[in-house]
Amino acid sequence: MVDSTITAREQVTSSKSLLCELLRQFYQLGWCTGTGGGISMREGAGYIMAPSGVAKERVQPNELFEMDRDFAITNLDSLENKKVSECEPLFRAIYEKTDAGAVIHSHSVNIVVALSHEREIPGLSWERLEMIKGIRGAVYTDKHVVPVIKNTPRECELTESLTACLEKLPNNAHGIFVRDHGAYIWGRDVMEAKRHAEVYDWLCQYKNATTR
C-alpha cells in the first residue's frame, strides 16, 4: 500500500524549491542584486531562511537554513561556510509581532528612490489606486500608509526601531520601508508576501513616475 500523504519532509523540500524559484524571480525584478535582499517563511512549527551574502538567483534548496520554533538552526551540519541572513532578527521580530507566515526583504531601487522624495514624512502613502486593493484589508478609498524608519549602520541595529514600528503599525500595512535601504514586506503565506511586495513595488514605480 502506497501512502500518498505528503510527509513533513517532502513539504520542507517543496517549500525550499519554491523559495529558490522566487529568489530567481526577485533577482530579475531587481529586488536582490548585489547579494542584497532575502526571504523566509514559516514551515511546520519552525522556519526556513535564505543564506546571507550569496548571489540570490543561484541559491539552491540545500543552501537554505532550517530553524525550529525558537529560531535555532537545525541543519547547520550541512551548511558550513554559509551564514544565515543578517535580516534574521528583523524577520524574527515580524513573525513575533504580526500574523506573518512569510517575510520578504527587498532592495528594489524603485522603493529606495520613492523614499528619497520626501525625507521628513513618517510614511509613504497612496490612495484611490486600484493596486492598493492587492494589499490584504486595504480599502480603495482610504489612504494606505506604509511606515518609514531610518536606516542604521548595521542591519541588526534596525531591530529596535523596526520592533517599535511594528507596535503601532498603520491599518492594514504589510510592510515597513527603511530609508536609504529597502523594505520588509510580509503576508500570511509566501504567495501573499510576494503579492504584497509586487504591489508595493508597483506603487513606488507609480510614485516615482508621477512625482516631479
Residues identified as active-site? 130
Distances (CA, A) of 122 to 8, 14, 178: 43, 39, 11
Among 61, 63, 71, 109, interactor with its own copies by CB under 8 A: 109
8 A C-beta contact, residue 23 and residue 17: no
Stretch that binds its own copies, among 2-10, 38-46, 137-145, 161-169 (CB under 8 A): 137-145
User: Whose Cβ is closer to its own copies: residue 55's or residue 72's?
Assistant: 55
Using the rule CB under 8 A, is 195 a contact of its own copies?
A: yes
Long-range contacts from 65-72, C-beta under 8 angstroms, 24+ separation: 66/12, 69/45, 71/47
Query: What are the grid coordinates assigned to 30, written together?
Result: 531587481
Residue 93 — φ and ψ, nearest 5°?
A: -60, -40
CB closer to its own copies, 124 vs 199: 199
Amino acid, res. 38: G
Please select the residue that binds its own copies; options are 44, 46, 61, 134, rule is CB under 8 A. 134
Please tell me the distance from the alpha carbon of residue 212 to that of residue 193, in angstroms, as a whole number.
Answer: 30
Q: Is residue 55 a contact residue for its own copies (CB under 8 A)?
A: yes
Which residues are near its own copies by CB under 8 A? Answer: 30, 33-36, 55, 107, 109, 112-113, 116, 128-131, 134, 139-141, 151, 153-155, 178, 180-182, 191, 194-196, 198-199, 201-202, 205-206, 208-210
